[in-house]
């Protein structure tokens, strides 16, 4: 291995069942359309304009088909294995066409399998079978540098320099390794600022790090709550809290996109405010990477970490990644070390004298799985065929279409005392610059039966307690027709709930 290689790279009808007629609520925001022209209009207005110009009603399936015909990244769907109705475990076969595509809106939880992934993995399995240990230094994915074969692509996806990114471990492991360096509490500055409903694993990591350093989470964790009656945090409130308590805050660590509400945080503004008060600023990008356009280097955050099995589609438990800004490349912070952090040029001298790689490479501990790297490579290769700008432009319209149809058909009745029909509230921000693919839907009735009915009809999404369904039409492989079909089935589920 000391002659290491140079890295290389069901309904059958077309009408949506309306539970109760209601007008769409007032929309606002900005969006880029699918031709890359910047528009000040909200996607709902753009979609209505397209409908008027094409002579099609936005609530008919022909409009959805028209939108798919204009989608210049629609071909990417063919690069993924898309689950058929017949293969889902909870469908009612009396209600579905077994050969029809399911409605897979769970890419925020687990992305679909790239068709190329099997070939990439089998290539490494074949190399292992044929040459054994020599596979460490041979082939397109030499195992001794397997992670380095995909870090350039991942750096592009997160808006970083290649030397600011390393591919390693899993998300929470990486968060802990980063906090070992970046959370260095003192008597005066020992707090961690986060959102109140952070993903549990993040919350546990922060708590345990605080305990490890001898502090009490009750006094060292600031969990920000939305204003009363609101579901999401306002940027101005986050900034105000930082300016108010920043002198006692050691680390600020929010999600890039909040897993429960789907809110996209203003990472640039949070970073700027944190640095103004001398805080370290980092982000968990599990729901942001591959979902929205990122510029980690330019935004100036100190660190970030992410997983790769959601929007990046590397498979369950796929390998994670970290970002460390170049200004910290040769920091002297505490670190947990392993031999994969040793510079490859001298790693095999075996003299037990650490020659630490600069930047995030120095945070690597053990050699990564060749199979995990191969799977990730297959996934990011799809992303390299298109820009995140193009994907996000589609996403704004696709998720905007979902929002528009829900608000047209299933929003809260004006007179809820007279009209007791079940309704849907979207708790994700209406501002398209504060969200990605996901919409989080809250219901006026228990979601258990609604969720079960969606599953019976081949819809794949997920529920989160107490009363939210997370639904994510993914720009890579979902279509406007998928959205239309989902909203129709949702209406049937609401109708069934109303009759119970």
pLDDT band at residue 466 using 50, 70 and 90 as cut-offs:
confident
User: What is the rounded average pLDDT for all residues in the chain?
Assistant: 91
- The dihedral through the CA atoms of 425, 428, 431, 436 has a sign that is negative
Residue bearing the bigger pLDDT, 5 or 363: 363
For tokens 């709930």, name the residue: 497
The predicted structure's pLDDT at residue 103: 98
- Tens of pLDDT along 97-134? 999 999 999 999 999 999 999 999 999 999 999 999 99
Mean pLDDT of the region 295-316: 98
- Tens of pLDDT along 343-353? 999 999 999 99
Question: Is pLDDT at 251 greater than 60 in this prediction?
Answer: yes
pLDDT band at residue 93 using 50, 70 and 90 as cut-offs:
very high
Least confident range from 40-54, 330-344, 371-385, 404-418: namely: 404-418
Pairwise CA distance, residues 245 & 268, whole Å: 19
Produce one character per residue of 326-344: b if its CB has 16 or more CB atoms within 10 Å, e if not: eebbeeeeebeeeebbbeb
The predicted structure's pLDDT at residue 416: 63
Q: Quick check: bond before 65 cis, omega within 30? A: no
Question: Is pLDDT at 495 greater than 70 in this prediction?
Answer: yes
- Tens of pLDDT along 383-438? 999 999 999 999 999 999 999 999 999 998 877 666 678 899 999 999 999 999 99
pLDDT band at residue 463 using 50, 70 and 90 as cut-offs:
very high
Mean pLDDT of the region 331-360: 96
Least confident range from 126-140, 205-219, 269-283, 486-500: namely: 486-500
Residue bearing the bigger pLDDT, 5 or 199: 199
Pairwise CA distance, residues 473 & 470, whole Å: 10
The predicted structure's pLDDT at residue 417: 67
Q: The whole model's pTM is what?
A: 0.91
Mean pLDDT of the region 460-478: 95
pLDDT band at residue 136 using 50, 70 and 90 as cut-offs:
very high
Pairwise CA distance, residues 217 & 119, whole Å: 47
Q: Which residues, including other chains, have CB under 8 Å from residue 42's CB and lie 6 or more apart?
A: 27, 28, 29, 30, 31, 400, 430, 432
The predicted structure's pLDDT at residue 17: 39
- Tens of pLDDT along 220-249? 999 999 999 999 999 999 999 999 999 999
The predicted structure's pLDDT at residue 9: 37
The predicted structure's pLDDT at residue 194: 98
Mean pLDDT of the region 148-161: 97
pLDDT band at residue 26 using 50, 70 and 90 as cut-offs:
very low
The predicted structure's pLDDT at residue 306: 98
CA 238 from centre of chain: 21
């Amino acid at each position: 291995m000391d002659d290491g290689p140079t890295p290389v790279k069901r309904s059958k009808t077309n009408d949506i069942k309306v539970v109760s007629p209601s007008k769409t609520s007032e929309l606002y925001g900005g969006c880029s359309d699918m031709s890359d022209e910047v528009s000040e209009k909200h996607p709902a207005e753009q979609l209505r304009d397209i409908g008027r110009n094409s002579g099609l009603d936005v609530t008919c399936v022909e409009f959805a088909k028209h939108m798919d015909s204009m989608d210049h990244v629609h071909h990417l769907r063919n690069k993924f294995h898309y689950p058929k109705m017949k293969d889902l475990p909870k469908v009612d076969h009396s209600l579905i066409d077994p050969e029809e595509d399911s409605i897979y809106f769970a890419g925020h939880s687990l992305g679909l399998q790239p068709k190329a992934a099997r070939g990439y993995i089998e290539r490494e399995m074949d190399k292992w079978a044929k040459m054994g240990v020599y596979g460490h230094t041979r082939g397109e994915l030499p195992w001794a540098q397997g992670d380095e074969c995909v870090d350039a692509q991942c750096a592009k996806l997160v808006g970083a320099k290649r030397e600011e990114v390393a591919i390693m471990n899993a998300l929470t492991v990486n968060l802990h390794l980063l906090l070992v360096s970046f959370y260095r509490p003192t008597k005066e500055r020992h707090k961690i600022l986060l959102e109140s409903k952070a993903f549990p694993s993040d919350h546990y990591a922060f708590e345990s790090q605080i305990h490890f350093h001898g502090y009490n989470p009750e006094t060292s964790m600031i969990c920000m709550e939305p204003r009363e009656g609101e579901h999401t945090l306002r940027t101005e409130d986050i900034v105000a809290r930082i300016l108010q308590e920043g002198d006692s805050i050691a680390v600020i660590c929010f999600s890039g996109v909040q897993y429960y509400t789907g809110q996209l945080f203003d990472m640039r503004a949070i970073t700027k405010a944190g640095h103004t008060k001398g805080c370290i600023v980092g982000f968990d990008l599990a729901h942001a990477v591959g979902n929205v356009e990122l510029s980690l280097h330019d935004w100036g955050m100190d660190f970030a970490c992410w997983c790769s099995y959601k929007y990046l589609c590397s498979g369950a438990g796929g390998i994670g990644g970290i970002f460390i800004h170049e200004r910290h490349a040769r920091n002297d912070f505490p670190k947990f070390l392993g031999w994969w952090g040793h510079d490859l040029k001298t790693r095999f001298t075996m003299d037990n004298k650490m020659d630490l790689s600069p930047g995030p490479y120095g945070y690597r501990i053990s050699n990564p799985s060749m199979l995990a790297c191969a799977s990730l490579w297959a996934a990011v290769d799809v992303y390299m065929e298109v820009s995140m700008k193009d994907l996000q432009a589609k996403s704004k319209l696709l998720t905007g279409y979902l929002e528009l149809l829900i608000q047209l058909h299933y929003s809260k009745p004006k007179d809820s005392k007279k009209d007791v029909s079940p309704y849907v509230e979207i708790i994700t921000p209406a501002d398209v610059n504060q969200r990605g693919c996901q919409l989080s839907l809250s219901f006026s009735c228990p979601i258990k039966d609604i969720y079960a009915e969606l599953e019976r009809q081949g819809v794949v999404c997920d529920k989160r307690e107490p009363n939210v369904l997370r639904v994510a039409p993914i720009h890579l492989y979902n279509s406007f027709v998928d959205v239309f079909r989902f909203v129709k089935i949702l209406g049937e589920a609401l109708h069934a709930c109303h009759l119970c």
